[in-house]
Amino acid sequence: MFLIKNFTESRIVAWKARNGMNILRVCLGIIFIWFGILKFFPGLSSAEEIAGRTILKLTFGALKPSVSMPILGIWECIIGLGLITKAWLRLVLILLYLQMAGTFLPLVFFPHETFNHSVFVPTLLGQYIIKNFILISGGIVIGATLKGGKLMAVPLGDKAIKLEKRFGRIRRLLKIEPV
């Protein structure tokens, strides 16, 4: 029974290593296209009002929401299409990082709308913004594959096990939880 469980688990891990990056890339692309398309239809996007006011403030009133929302929608759709097709992936990831940096600006510009009582209690809008850390993390992981990086389902070798034991001792001494 143990061998069957181990064999099945190894196969599942190997499948995840082979397919996980493509699944992440396509899912992230779908999210960007989906949210980008909503920006073309006034009143449909949950982020439309705060995004419009943020861009208006960022551009010192020069770019009105009626203009900025379609531009933002195009930007997000380009990111999504680039992620799905892998076209111009390096540029697409730069666009993703810039767009994501902009999504955090309401936390600074409008803290009374994004937090209740303190920065440890975000409003629903604040939570909507903070979840973008996950999208940024996905972009970083995808970026790690640009020069041939891959997820691998390889068991730790002897050298890695020795390093893990050494750092495990250090972690225990410093009372740091393993990652």
The pLDDT value given to residue 9: 82
d(CA 71, CA 95): 13
Structural domain for 40, as ranges: 2-174
The pLDDT value given to residue 153: 75
The pLDDT value given to residue 135: 97
Higher per-residue pLDDT: 154 or 101: 101
User: Does some domain include residue 113?
Assistant: yes
User: Does some domain include residue 156?
Assistant: yes
**Of the candidates 133, 146, 130, the residue with the CA atom closest to the CA atom of residue 25:** 146
User: Does some domain include residue 12?
Assistant: yes
For the record, the structure tokens of 126 come out as 């604040």
User: Does some domain include residue 179?
Assistant: no
**Of the candidates 63, 60, 51, 55, the residue with the CA atom closest to the CA atom of residue 114:** 51
Q: What is the pLDDT of residues 68-88, one digit of tens each?
A: 999 999 999 999 999 999 999
User: Does some domain include residue 46?
Assistant: yes
Q: What is the pLDDT of residues 90-147, one digit of tens each?
A: 999 999 999 999 999 999 999 999 999 888 999 999 999 999 999 999 999 999 999 8
Q: What is the pLDDT of residues 105-118, one digit of tens each?
A: 999 999 999 999 88
* pLDDT above 90 coverage of the chain, percent: 71
Domain count, the chain: 1
pLDDT at 159 over 90: no
Which residues, listed in sequence order, are joined to residue 122 by a DSSP beta bridge?
A: 115
Distances (CA, A) of 165 to 44, 132, 157: 53, 35, 12
Q: What is the pLDDT of residues 25-74, one digit of tens each?
A: 999 999 999 999 999 999 999 999 999 999 999 999 999 999 999 999 99
- Say if residues 122 and 114 touch (Cβ distance below 8 Å): yes
d(CA 99, CA 79): 9
Instruction: Measure the CA dihedral 79/46/53/32, to 10°.
Output: 0
User: Does some domain include residue 152?
Assistant: yes
User: Does some domain include residue 163?
Assistant: yes
Phi, psi of 99, rounded to the nearest 5 degrees: -65, -40
The pLDDT value given to residue 163: 65
What is the largest distance, in Å, between two alpha-carbon atoms of the chain?
Answer: 68
d(CA 170, CA 173): 5
